Amino acid sequence: MASESTNTPVWLITGCSTGFGRELAKLVIARGWRLVATARDKSRVADLAEGAEGQVLAVDLDVGKADQIHAAVAAAKKQFGRIDVLVNNAGYGYQSSIEEGEDAEIRAQFDANVFGLFAITRAVLPIMREQRSGHIINITSVAGLIGFPGSGYYAASKHAVEGFSDALLAEVKPLGISVTCVEPGPFRTDWAGRSLRQTPSRIDDYKDTAAKRLESTRQSNGNQAGDPVRAAEAMIALTQKPDAPRHLVLGSWGYDAVVADRQARLKQIEQVRDISTGADFPKE
């Protein structure tokens, strides 16, 4: 195995204990590439490094803790000398109606899904700038492009990452760094199970919107069409493209939903073109 070769790419993946992060980590290792596998408790990813100590570095990383972010990035650079791919995967789902959302839950959601992602990206960028190369993959969601009832705060967190990624790409593309948001639909991970947080909707007016979606999410767990292993393979394929796309929607359901939504939005914008353009000062 070429595990200790200095010519293999170095991946840093957040949230490797379960789901997309773990499947992606396993595939990276199988290819003989080098990996910084992170989890809030590194003992949960220690098995990934067994027998591959020169190839895999397991580190503690809670993306909500600045000291752990800087320590993880420093350890990666010390061990491998570079970071070629950063996968911002750590995060989770929170569901509630907008009206019944709990402030502590909303803030915790943004700390993990948004501010933690921002912080580790900032920490890795100096390394990639020096290299004049790299690929930043932000795992968002179809909910990063479409807001669904019951998922308003989760969608807000993922929309924030999408906007951030647009600006980030504009800044770093001239430096040889790619940025992609991976937008999964329903996949068979822990997102809708152990990792999901919900505030039940008790307002009757939301029984057919937010409450219905909270229930359908719970019921779908374990039966989603999306395969996490195939999703991980798609992410790896993405990094092999010379001109990586800004968006990668994963899963048939997600693809169809996003395409229909974008087409409908464009139609809506075009229907009020005269009102939009009429807001300028009159041309002399």
What kind and span of H or E run contains 264? helix 252-271
111 to 64, 142, 167: CA distances (angstroms) = 6, 20, 20
Q: How many CB atoms lie within 10 A of CB 27?
A: 17
Q: What are phi and psi of 139, to 5 degrees?
A: -80, 105
Active site residue 154: yes
CA distances from 266 to 67, 181, 271 (A): 44, 21, 9
Which residues partner with 85 through β-bridges?
11, 135
Q: Considering Cα of 29, then 31, then 32, then 36, what sign does the dihedral take?
A: negative
Rounded Cα distance between 13 and 28, Å, is 10
Q: Name which of 124, 86, 115, 100 is nearest 200 in CA terms.
A: 100
Q: Which of 92, 94, 153, 154 is catalytic?
A: 154
Q: How far apart are CA 259 and CA 249, in angstroms?
A: 10
Beta bridge partners of 87: 13, 137
Q: How far apart are CA 126 and CA 128, in angstroms?
A: 6
Q: Known catalytic residues?
A: 154
